[in-house]
A and B are shown apart, each in its own frame.
Chain A
Amino acid sequence: MENIPEDKRHIKGWGVDIDPKNDPTYPMKHRTNEEHKGYSWERPSLQPVNIEVLHSNERPNVTAVFGTSTPPSGLSGMIRRYAFKHSENSYLHWLPLLLADRVNVVEGIVDDFKQGHVPNIFAEKGMKADWKHDKAGLFQKVAITALVTTAAVLILTGKHKELAKKF
């Protein structure tokens, strides 16, 4: 029992009811209590950090390996950097990240256009599959979109009063 804290043994009754079988983590965890020694394991080789990696402030460092997909950039990147000033325990971490994700979508469309690529949103949404497997659903979507767009156009062009008169 290497995990008995020497300096606690003077406490009367310390450990009299230890029951190693009472382990709700079994069999998920093969308990060795390594983590009682803290962050002290021999770390794997470290992946060189040559892109911007944001890391949680609930840990001291970047992990030994990390993903290199899409480093933070632009306005969304600025929001993400702000988010990482706050811990995972805080809404100020997660809500800005969700906001950054939405900003990032607009940046993505701008990027597409900059590269001369007009995004085919119909195809990206997989609506070809609707045509094949869910025509009724597709017609409903198209009808709703048409209705909303018409209403928006009418309102934006100031024709809503005429529209109102008609109903």
Chain B
Amino acid sequence: MLAMNYRGPRRVRIDNKPMPEILHPEDAIVRVTRSCVCGSDLHLYNGNVPDTRVGMTFGHEFTGEIVEVGSEVTKVKVGDNVLVPFNIACGKCAFCKQKLFGNCHESNSQATAVGGIFGYSHTAGGYDGGQAEYVRVPYANVGPTVIPEGMHPDDAVMLTDVVPTGYQAAEMGGIQPGDTVVVFGAGPVGIMAAKCAWLFGAGRVIIIDHVEYRLEFARNYAQCEAYNFRSLEDPVVFIKKTTDWMGADVCIDAVGAEAAGNAMQTITGRKLLLQAGSATALHWAINAVKKGGIVSVVGVYGPTDNLVPIGNVVNKGLTIRANQASVKRLLPRLIEHVQNGILDPKALITHHFALEEVADAYHIFSDKLDECIKPVLVPPSAQ
């Protein structure tokens, strides 16, 4: 079968690989119909996640048809069209039982600090991902969710990560009616977070980035204010001024380790890997939120350390809330929102690539060419 093959930093290609097999009674094999490239994949693509092995297939946002199931699979059957949450979760451990599906204790041998994730290095379990024609899906009784009749396939694939992550970013902000919410990052996740902030009753939503076409998109899609930090002398002072010198009630970091905007952070975090990615956006979020405010972090960082002003967290009495999105917990509500037209995730998908064009897709998304917001790969068998 065709599958994406990681060869080294910023080098990926399509290759023939053996078909995945059932290795556990709760496994399913899924024939992929759509598979996105995510901002999270860029951390792997840039070679910044430890234990990213050459030969691995990435891809944690995918939909497909179930073509084979193991003997203990009862919740889905061959022929079902499913969307598959990016978290691999057993449903039985103490964490899954408390709906922390992003923090399962039975899906990642290599690290206790993160649950299993499809196609996300060995630090997240060593699973080959969905940027392929077929993929092995463990714990098929827990993750895969039948796509409701009539749902657009592009909406379905966005429910595997972007929608729940954006939504949870807003949810963790503990937004109260009238709150001012600042979202750092106008990628798919940040745009969705800005949109969802309204659902929790925000009074004002501001998004910050430095890519003009994304700001323009966010302004229209999320009906929010959008500012380019390159044209602000200091984004933190700007936010203070525009909130009558109080700071935002809630700041959301939807950027993570690939942040631009501060040379020292970029060099130590992205070039020299002396810290676990560049923490510019998180730094700004902590400094731009008001005293007693909440910082919600969905931006992904590496497993070591980052330079952030933790002293200010103490002195301002901040609450920091963060997690990998618990996709399964949020799906019922979010499917409703999509079906009722409250959220229109497919509008974020600007590019459909054939799976064979995976190298171009990564490059275009990573370098923000051709006004790309969100690319999706379509395998030949699904075209």
Chain A residues in the interface with B (C-beta under 8 A): 24, 27-32, 34-35, 37, 39, 41-45, 47-48, 53-56, 58-59, 61-70, 72, 76, 80, 83-84, 88, 91, 94, 97-98, 100-102, 104-105, 107-109, 112, 119-121, 123-130, 132-134, 137
Contacts and interface: CB of A to CB of B under 8 A. Distances in A.
Interface in B78-129: 88, 90, 92-95, 97-100, 105-113, 116, 122-123, 125-128
24 contacts: A28-B99, A28-B323, A29-B100, A32-B97, A34-B97, A48-B23, A63-B105, A65-B88, A65-B107, A66-B107, A66-B109, A66-B127, A70-B53, A70-B56, A83-B51, A94-B303, A97-B123, A101-B52, A105-B7, A125-B10, A125-B11, A125-B359, A126-B362, A130-B369
10 tightest A-B CB contacts, nearest first: A126-B363, A67-B126, A67-B127, A105-B8, A97-B50, A34-B94, A108-B54, A55-B109, A35-B94, A126-B359
A65 B104 CA distance: 11
A134 B329 CA distance: 41
A41 B47 contact: no
B289 to A, nearest CB: 16
Given A41-B94, A44-B90, 7 more contacts: A37-B94, A41-B92, A56-B110, A63-B105, A101-B52, A108-B7, A130-B363
B382 to A, nearest CB: 22
Contact of B99 (A29, A48, A54, A94): A29
Interface string B51-75: 1111111000000000000001000
B361 interface: yes
Contact of A54 (B54, B100, B109, B302): B109
- The binding surface of chain B is classed by DSSP as loop
B306 to A, nearest CB: 13
Given A47-B23, A67-B125, A59 B109 contact: yes
- The binding surface of chain A is classed by DSSP as loop
Which of B47, B52, B95, B126 gathers most chain A CB within 10 Å?
B126
Q: How large is the interface on B (under 10, 10 to 19, 20 to 34, 35 or more residues)?
A: 35 or more
B113 A88 contact: yes
Contact of B369 (A67, A84, A121, A129): A129
A35 B94 CA distance: 5
A67 B363 contact: no
Given A63-B106, A70-B54, A121-B11, A30 B127 contact: no
A145 to B, nearest CB: 14
Contacts of B111: 56, 88
Contacts of B106: 43-44, 63-65
Given A29-B98, A54-B110, A67 B116 contact: yes
B110 A70 contact: no
Interface in B151-204: 168, 171-172
Contact of A128 (B26, B139, B326, B360): B360
B94 A69 contact: no
A116 to B, nearest CB: 14
Contacts of A32: 97-98
Contacts of B361: 126
B97 to A, nearest CB: 6
B276 to A, nearest CB: 8
Contact of A126 (B53, B93, B364): B364
Given A45-B26, A100-B51, A105-B9, A35 B95 contact: yes
A6 B9 CA distance: 55
B183 to A, nearest CB: 19
A66 B126 contact: yes
Contact of A134 (B88, B112, B369): B369
Nearest to B119: A69
A44 B26 contact: yes
A129 B100 contact: no
A45 B72 contact: yes
A30 B98 contact: yes
